[in-house]
Amino acid sequence: MAIYNLTMHGQTIIRILRAIDLLSRPHGATIAQLEAELGVTRRSVYRLFETLDELGFPRYDEEIPGEKEKRWRFQEDYLHKLPNLRIPDMRLNPRELIVLYLLLSSDRIFHGTAVEKELVSIREKLAAITPGPWLSIAQSDRLESLFAAGTLHPKYYDQKDEVIEPLLDALAERKVCSVTYESLTTGKRKTYRIHPLRLFQHDGGLYLFVHIPGHDVTRILAVDRIVAITAGEESFGEPPSFDPAEILSRTFDLTLDDPVTVTIRFSPTASRRVRNRRWSATQEFREHPDGSLTLTMTSSGTDDVVRWVLGFGGEAELLAPAELRIALHDSAKQLLAVYGAEHGVEHGAAPGAAPGAAPGAAPGDGVHNRDGALPENAGNS
């Protein structure tokens, strides 16, 4: 009695599904292309055709001017299906291609890294399958001509392949990692055991959600400050309560601290830059007759809020809470210490105070950071 070879049977099924995919493409495939893609002989390709015929797939051939071989393909409107198995039509329509390419166009952050090569390959494949009539002659049939990169000041990651590549593998395989992380405020390096959860892009930088099992907390790390990473053999499960969208909705930038409610009044000029954007999930605007605007919101990252308000100069006034008004006052005194002397302005700034730091706060202090047992959050670094 013949022995049932599960491995060989599985490979045959995979070849059939792959052949279905190739014949479903807009331009179909030639026999030679099927041989190369499937890794089989010409005779095996014809046997696959017989199998597809028995399964009821309506295939046909057509001759393309200028090509030596005929192309084989399925009917355009045919829904790919097998008995008890439905294979969704994965071909993208023009609008879907445009949206996907738009997402891929923000790749300057990966310049010089191994990831850049993968993105280039994906864009080239998308351009190759884009319906020609959908793009104008002026666009030379290239989707790339529709977009410009939008990240103005990306961080440099061209020397970070030794971090990014193992990190991507650890994310995909859910492996516990050991990372050496450099503090932005102190420059000191410490090693932590982490569960890498999500990688995301923000304001020209790559950031990583991690769970630190020893303290049962979630942090955000800046990838550029990861000095070394080693993935172990141990796997982990994602915390059931982990919700990255919810976490980011309550941070002003990327600092995870205790939430604080702030009230800020903006001048008519500054209001035009503020009112049409989402700054917090809890934001409330109050319009004033003179065109000014008062914003009230609850968010974490008090230092981030202070730096943001300072960026408006005299066009914004932080009304509450009182402790942040004091922080802004101290920052203004420090600015006078830097710029006031040349104009004869008296100042009394405390030496060494960091802009936006709360009175008496040591560099790098944070709600979850005082003993150095946890890596500081990425903030807006």
What pLDDT, on a 0 to 100 scale, did the predictor assign at position 116?
77
Q: Which of 148-162, 168-182, 186-200 has the lowest mean pLDDT?
A: 148-162
Average pLDDT over residues 58-70: 85
Q: Give the start-to-end residue ranges of the domains of the chain.
A: 6-86, 94-146, 161-247, 250-376
Tokens of 305: 């809020």
Q: What is the DSSP string of 219-281?
A: EEEEGGGEEEEEEEEEE----TT--HHHHHHTBSSS-----EEEEEEE-HHHHHHHTTS---T
User: How confident is the model at residue 231, as a pLDDT?
Assistant: 95
Question: What angle is formed at CA 39 by the lines to CA 51 and CA 125, rounded to 5 degrees?
Answer: 100
Tokens of 63: 């001759």
Per-residue DSSP letter, 342? G
Under 8 Å between Cβ of 179 and 221:
yes
CB 207 within 8 A of CB 251: no
The token pair at 324 is 């942040």
Q: Looking at per-residue confidence, does 129 or 70 come out higher?
A: 70
C-alpha–C-alpha distance, residues 184 and 206, integer Å? 15
The 8-class DSSP code of residue 24 comes to T
Q: Which residues pair with 189 in a beta bridge?
A: 182
Assigned token pair, 346: 């008296």
pLDDT over 90 (residue 60): no
- Is residue 31 predicted with pLDDT exceeding 80? yes
Q: Can you name the CATH fold of 161-247?
A: SH3 type barrels. (2.30.30)
* Mean pLDDT value of segment 20-43: 86
Q: Using alpha carbons, list the distances in angstroms from residue 9 to 4, 53, 86, 242.
A: 8, 19, 19, 40
Who has greater pLDDT, 132 or 72? 72
pTM (2 decimals)?
A: 0.60
Burial class (CB in 10 A: 0-12, 13-18, 19+), 198: middle
pLDDT band at 3 (very low <50, low <70, confident <90, very high): very low
- Residue pair 225/381 in contact by the 8 Å Cβ criterion: yes
Comparing 107 with 221, the larger pLDDT belongs to 221
Q: Report the C-alpha gap between 74 and 59 in whole angstroms.
A: 4
What is the dihedral sign for C-alpha 227, 233, 234, 235?
Answer: positive
Q: How confident is the model at residue 51 (pLDDT cuts 50, 70, 90)?
A: confident
For 179-205, the DSSP string reads EEEE-TTT--EEEEEEEEEEEEEETTE
Residue 162: what pLDDT?
93
pLDDT band, residue 163 (cuts 50/70/90):
very high
Tokens 């060494």 belong to residue: 352
Q: How much is the mean pLDDT over the chain? A: 77
Average pLDDT over residues 42-54: 87
* pLDDT band at residue 308 under the 50/70/90 scheme: very high
Q: Which of 77-91, 247-261, 284-298, 354-368 has the lowest mean pLDDT?
A: 354-368
Residues 11-21 have a mean pLDDT of 77
Q: Which of 54, 121, 128 is nearest to 91 (CA)?
A: 128
pLDDT of residue 380: 43
| Least confident window among 106-115, 295-304, 317-326 | 106-115
Alpha-carbon dihedral sign for residues 89, 93, 99, 101: positive
Q: Tokens representing 336?
A: 């006078």
Just give the CATH number of 6-86: 1.10.10.10
374 pLDDT exceeds 50?
Answer: yes
For residues 323 and 316, what is the distance between their CA atoms, to the nearest angstrom? 17
Contact (Cβ atoms closer than 8 angstroms) between residue 62 and residue 73: yes
User: Nearest 10 degrees: CA dihedral of 153, 207, 231, 166?
Assistant: -30
Weakest-pLDDT range from 56-65, 155-164, 250-259, 345-354? 345-354
In the predicted model, is pLDDT for residue 135 greater than 70? no
Cis peptide before 321, with omega less than 30 degrees from 0? Answer: yes
Least confident of 67-81, 87-101, 347-361: 347-361
* 92 Cβ contact partners less than 8 Å away, ≥ 6 residues apart: 100, 129
What's the gap between Cα 75 and its chain centre?
A: 37
pLDDT digits (tens, 9 = 90+) for 222-253: 999 999 999 999 999 999 899 988 888 888 88
Asked whether the predicted pLDDT for residue 354 surpasses 50, the reply is no
Lowest mean pLDDT among 25-29, 175-179, 276-280: 25-29
CB 76 within 8 A of CB 96: no
Give the CA count within 13 Å in the CB-facing half-sphere of 262.
28
Q: How far is CA 4 from CA 11, 16, 198, in A?
A: 13, 19, 42
Tokens of 219: 């942090």
| Residue 353 clears pLDDT 90, i.e. is over it | no
